[in-house]
Chains A and B, each alone.
Chain A
Amino acid sequence: MMYLDNSATTKPFPEVLQSFIKVATDYFGNPSSLHGLGMQAERLLTQAREQMARLLEVKPSEVIFTSGGTEGNNLAIKGVAWQHQQRGRHIITTAIEHPSVIEACKQLEQFGFQVTYVPVDERGIVSVAHIEQALRDDTILVSVMHVNNEVGSIQPIEQIGAMLKKYPKVLFHVDGVQGAAKLPLHLKRANVDLYTMSAHKFHGLKGAGVLYVREGVRLSPLLSGGAQEMQLRSGTENVAAIVAMAKALRLSIEKYRESYARLEEIKRAIIGRLQTIEGISVHTPLEQSAPHIIHFSLEGIKSETFVHELEKQHMYVSTTSACSSRKKAPSKTLLAMGIEKTRAERSIRISLSYEQQIEHVPIIVEAIEQAYERLKIVARGTK
């Protein structure tokens, strides 16, 4: 069995599971309660916050726990928009963001905000100059993802952050869901104001995430209530999943640091071999891409058919991003990269985890090759 859909979600580490069960069972108190059990829970929450902060090299008070990446992105974008709308109602993002960024922007457009979706080049990378050109006097926010979830292209976050230093009133949000724990990014040095993470993408549990909010950045909360999380996010804290997330981040950073070079080598080897197969085009750029994502398309075969064919060999890959794979629309990222629609409808994403070894390369490539051959024969037969 080979699970190669780690960009959709990852398998939790066994240690993460242990933490979750332990906290959920033994330290179940509400962190807001004043009695012993409540204080224990609060202490665990504080420790998890400090640990996350240390790993991200930020302050504990800058770590806001959320229910996941989608909530984090919504809070960042709408939180800035509602809070700073007097100053301006213009937002800049890119054409290849995750739906949780794009759709949040679309909602704001309904309320009179203007959004510029900056295009990307054929590699799926946005240019700093294009972002700078899009800036206006009334721009309040620039939101750019770190690693694209479909093709794996890395956006020039450090350079955009450096450029934005000249525009101190413009806030900078980074959707770090696919990059977190996998690629180094120093939030302070990169001048990032807001950064979204989701635990289930780095071997933590679903239903927990973090929004980093730089000290001094003011946000309008998305959820009102008991004023938890420095008043930015109300709701009883999901303590067990949060403690488990802190552990997952530490372990992930270690494991991906160790396996970075190996994954990069695997990625290059797979891309190299896929490129020699007739009918396959690779869309992940060789340079400036994350080590764990490989995206390609197959001429003549629908991606869904291909996913199921590979599944017969117990290899699990995906069509575009998990979030949109059920609606069967062509990948927006590929379209934005200038790839034609029929190609974009036939695309497959492989996403690796730290578990992949170099010996897996031939197994993966041969499985793809054979599945493709079989389907081509079937396709010819039905003509």
Chain B
Amino acid sequence: MERTYLDHAATSPVHPQVVEAMIPYMTTYFGNPSSIHSFGRESRRALDEARETIAKTVGAKANEIIFTSGGTEADNLAIIGVAMANREKGRHIITTSVEHHAVLNTCKYLQKQGFDVTYLPVDEHGMISVEQVKSALRDDTIIVSIMFGNNETGVLQPIHDIGQLLRDHDAYFHTDAVQAYGLVPIDVHELGIDLLSVSSHKVNGPKGVGFLYVREGVRLMPHIYGGEQERKRRAGTENVPGIVGFQKAAELAQQTMSEKRALYEQFQHIMLTTFEREGIDYAVNGHETNRLPHVLNVAFFGTNVEALLVNLDLAGIAASSGSACTAGSIDPSHVLVAMYGNDSERIRSSVRFSFGYGNTLEQIERAAYDIAKIVKRLTKA
């Protein structure tokens, strides 16, 4: 049976060119970048180059990029780092109720430390409005953290407009761009972003690497202390092969962005027209158009998500109920609950399909048909 992986938002396969780029840094150039001999210098050169390349992908300068162990660490560093360094200025944080747990649980942690957090609700499209941010802003707001694109529904937030609004306020603007990176062109200056989190394993890079963009001048307290790596903002021997792999993945993502967008939009179209043609009862969760192209979250009315996922898995289709990171269990998605309320049937019957490297038109056509068949079987009983 051919397997079709439609869970790229959970994690993505490493691109063969990425592995290839990493190998020399695990065999020949394995030095510690802090060492002053040639092994160290070679590693450092690779690190500097990766930083340059990656900085350019978001319109930043190399010294504004801090490499981390992934998206979770980048989110923690951004929010805790800003909160702790600016706690004399204020203790108010604004975020949304649909963030990834790396943001939500970090905010909860800070609440225990005496910070005050406003969780903005979303509408039934999964969106917040600039007006909501505006009315939540206070003199003591020190950071506004709003994700670029949602990991469960793909819904995009009005990042540009929020950035505009915050230009006239002291609060820093952080966005979790883990899902948007590589699929949406991002220029931190145009968008008025002060801090931005990215994770490598979502864009066909290796796991265990990410970065936080921190605009020059932002006051940030480090989270992990030790040596003087990452300009003293993130200690620890740098994961050179991982970072080199991330660089390659970032390059590939930039080069293929527009063709991927077009392809994934086509995938979405194929899926939805197939569901339509097969006459199943479904609805797309989240805004109809204002979404990331690789995520399609669908409610199949009359089904139960657990049974649905098991059957899909048996048919060789790997999808998910939402965030993979809510380790293990199928709890109702906090994102769907925020959009539709606890009582909506959607929160028990929705599946997230997410596209990526390796998916083909034929795969999607067949998967869409198989999904429709399974849904019909499950709703007949």
Contact with B69, one of A17, A235, A325 (Cβ below 8 angstroms) = A235
Chain B 46-72 per-residue mask, 1 if CB under 8 angstroms from chain A, else 0: 000000000000000000000001111
Residue of A nearest to B14 (CB): A24
| CB-based contact A326/B237 at 8 Å | no
Chain B 13-50 per-residue mask, 1 if CB under 8 angstroms from chain A, else 0: 11010010001001100111011111110000000000
Q: What's the least CB distance linking B188 to chain A, in Å?
A: 23
Q: What's the least CB distance linking B15 to chain A, in Å?
A: 10
| CB-based contact A73/B226 at 8 Å | yes
Chain A 219-239 per-residue mask, 1 if CB under 8 angstroms from chain B, else 0: 000111111100000111111
Known: A17-B26, A71-B224. A236 touches B235 (CB 8 A): no
Q: Which residues of chain B are within 8 angstroms of A327 by Cβ–Cβ distance?
A: 228
Contact with B237, one of A5, A198, A228, A308 (Cβ below 8 angstroms) = A198
| CB-based contact A11/B71 at 8 Å | no
Contact with B37, one of A98, A103, A222, A311 (Cβ below 8 angstroms) = A311
List 16 interface pairs A-B (beta carbons < 8 Å), by A numbering.
A5-B32, A9-B32, A20-B26, A21-B19, A29-B318, A32-B326, A32-B327, A32-B328, A100-B236, A207-B241, A224-B108, A234-B76, A235-B72, A236-B201, A326-B36, A326-B228
7 extra A-B contacts, CB within 8 A, seeds A35-B320, A38-B318, A223-B73: A35-B313, A38-B10, A70-B237, A100-B225, A222-B223, A227-B326, A241-B206
Q: Which residues of chain B are within 8 angstroms of A33 by Cβ–Cβ distance?
A: 7, 10-11, 318, 320, 324
Residue among B19, B37, B106, B313 with the highest chain A CB neighbour number at 10 A: B37
Q: Which residues of chain A are within 8 angstroms of B14 by Cβ–Cβ distance?
A: 24-25, 28
Q: Which residues of chain B are within 8 angstroms of A222 by Cβ–Cβ distance?
A: 76, 223-224
Q: Which residues of chain B are within 8 angstroms of A146 by Cβ–Cβ distance?
A: none
Query: A319 on the interface (CB 8 Å rule)?
Result: yes
Query: A208 on the interface (CB 8 Å rule)?
Result: yes
| CB-based contact A235/B102 at 8 Å | yes
Query: A12 on the interface (CB 8 Å rule)?
Result: yes
Query: A200 on the interface (CB 8 Å rule)?
Result: yes
Q: Which residues of chain B are within 8 angstroms of A35 by Cβ–Cβ distance?
A: 7, 309, 312-313, 318-320
Known: A20-B26, A35-B319. A224 touches B35 (CB 8 A): no
Q: Which residues of chain A are within 8 angstroms of B5 by Cβ–Cβ distance?
A: 37
Known: A11-B30, A304-B36, A326-B34. A223 touches B320 (CB 8 A): no
Query: A260 on the interface (CB 8 Å rule)?
Result: no
Query: A317 on the interface (CB 8 Å rule)?
Result: yes
Q: Which residues of chain A are within 8 angstroms of B105 by Cβ–Cβ distance?
A: 224-225, 227, 234
Residue of A nearest to B321 (CB): A34
Q: Please measure, in the bound complex, the distance between the C-alpha atom of A287 and the C-alpha atom of B117, giving whole angstroms.
A: 56
Q: Please measure, in the bound complex, the distance between the C-alpha atom of A34 and the C-alpha atom of B19, giving whole angstroms.
A: 26
Query: B239 on the interface (CB 8 Å rule)?
Result: yes
